[in-house]
Amino acid sequence: MLFLVALMVWFGFPLLPSTFDLGASLPAIAIGAVAAFLNAFWEETAFRAGPLSMLQRAIGPGAGVVVLALFFGIGHFYGGIPSGPMGLVATGGVALLLGRAMIETRGLAWPVALHFSIDFVIFTFLAIASKA
């Protein structure tokens, strides 16, 4: 929750136009929600569930989560939001949390839900800014 608030303050609010009409922004918010769900589901399936299911057999679940978090963080160095070294650290840290959620719940629902909540903030503010 703290991470989401920090994300909004650091990333989201500077993107908002000076005048903001919530009613007119509803389509952008809906687009943000759909895009966030698709992205969260795709990344959790392709970058976590698939590789982690195989890697944990080789090196154990804990080390598997750490190694894949590094892969995920590095993958966001270019093009991630945030990107660069900051993006690497931030998304790597989030990936540790999501990976642990996947191992502990032995399922996709919690990691996708957590990932969605983060992406929803990012996508919604981007969608609102792109319409402004």
Partner 1 sequence: MTGGAEEAKEPAAHTEAPPWMDPTVGRSQVVIALFVTLLISRFPEIVARELLSLEVPWMGWAVVGLTIGLWAAARAIPVLRKLERFLAVMVAVNVLIAILPALRRRPERRNADAAKGRDIPSVASVRVDRGAVPGRADGVVRVPAPPFHL
30 lies in the site for partner 1, by CB under 8 A: no
Q: Give me the least distance between CB of 94 and partner 1, in Å please.
A: 11
Query: Toward partner 1, which CB reaches closer, 59 or 109?
Result: 59
50 lies in the site for partner 1, by CB under 8 A: yes
Query: In whole angstroms, what is the distance from residue 104 CA to residue 29 CA?
Result: 31
Residues in the chain: 132
117 lies in the site for partner 1, by CB under 8 A: no
Q: Give me the least distance between CB of 87 and partner 1, in Å please.
A: 9
DSSP 21: -
Query: In whole angstroms, what is the distance from residue 95 CA to residue 39 CA?
Result: 14
59 lies in the site for partner 1, by CB under 8 A: yes
Query: In whole angstroms, what is the distance from residue 19 CA to residue 33 CA?
Result: 22
Q: Give me the least distance between CB of 95 and partner 1, in Å please.
A: 12
79 phi and psi, to 5 degrees? 85, -10
CB 5 within 8 A of CB 118: no
Q: Give me the least distance between CB of 2 and partner 1, in Å please.
A: 19
57 lies in the site for partner 1, by CB under 8 A: yes
Strand locations in 1-132, DSSP E?
Answer: none
Residues engaged in binding partner 1 (CB under 8 A) = 11, 14-15, 39, 43, 46-47, 50-51, 53-55, 57-68, 70-71, 74-84, 86, 119, 122-123, 126-127, 129-130
